[in-house]
Amino acid sequence: MKIRNTRDGWGAGAQLLHWLIAAGIATAMLLGWIMVNLPNSATKFELYALHKSLGITILALVLLRIVWRWINMVPDMPGTLSPREQKLAGAGHMALYALMLLMPLSGYVLNSAANFPLNVFGLVQIPNLTPESETLAEVASVMHLTFFWVLAAVLVAHIGAALRHHFVLHDDVLRRMLPVRRR
């Protein structure tokens, strides 16, 4: 498998970024869900710290991924897809990219507006984006939760579509995001 993308497949770089970010998003969503429902405790705050660190890491990876996509060719969609399906897939992926940016950004703004410090994995402290503002923190909080639900819905569609391609349509769409030899 090549590092870079080819006309009919994703290279190792794109695959690594896809799966790293996928694992990051799944973990961040799970952590987020658990931590907000915990009563105040040391564990709760440790989960918050972890969630925030993970979110910033995902943001960095997503930016890297966008640059990588920019400087690589994007593999063609299989010809078996109808123009309508191709358009839908394009829109879905565009939504995923937008949400992958908006999700960590709204969290970052929320943390900044609360004027909480953010130290990524205890390694480096990053500056706050905004001045302290209760109103902004409130708005960012509502956005963060809204984006969570939208992202959850789009991810269900994304995973559902990938499985449909693999198990129903028997095409290469899922397999070409996996480091396996292609049929």
Partner 1 sequence: MFRSTSSSAGRFFLGLGLGVIASALPMLASSAATGWEIVHDESRLGFEATQQGGRFEGRFEDFRADMRFSADDLAMSRFDVTVATGSINTGSSQRDSNLPDAEWFDTDAFPEAYYVTREIRATTDGYEAVGDLTIRDNTHEVVLPFTWQTEGDRAEMNGAVTIDRVRFGVGQGEWRDPSVAGHEVKVVVDLTLER
Between 8 and 134, CB nearer to partner 1: 134
Is residue 132 close enough to count as binding partner 1 by CB under 8 A? yes
Q: Is the CB of residue 58 less than 8 Å from the CB of residue 25?
A: yes
Site for partner 1 in 22-51 (CB under 8 A): 40-42, 45-46, 48-49
Nearest alpha-carbon partner for 54 in 79, 78, 30: 30
Long-range Cβ pairs for the range 62-67 (8 Å, 24+) = 62/21, 62/97, 62/100, 62/101, 62/104, 63/101, 64/17, 65/14, 65/17, 65/18, 65/21, 66/97
Is residue 125 close enough to count as binding partner 1 by CB under 8 A? yes
Is residue 116 close enough to count as binding partner 1 by CB under 8 A? yes
Site for partner 1 in 58-97 (CB under 8 A): none
Q: How far, in Å, CA of 48 to CA of 118, rounded?
A: 10
Minimum separation from the CB atom of position 123 to partner 1 (A): 9
Between 42 and 71, CB nearer to partner 1: 42
For 101, phi then psi, to 5°, come to -85, -45
Between 54 and 118, CB nearer to partner 1: 118
Is residue 144 close enough to count as binding partner 1 by CB under 8 A? no
The footprint of partner 1 (CB under 8 A) covers: 40-42, 45-46, 48-49, 52, 114-119, 122, 125, 132, 134, 137
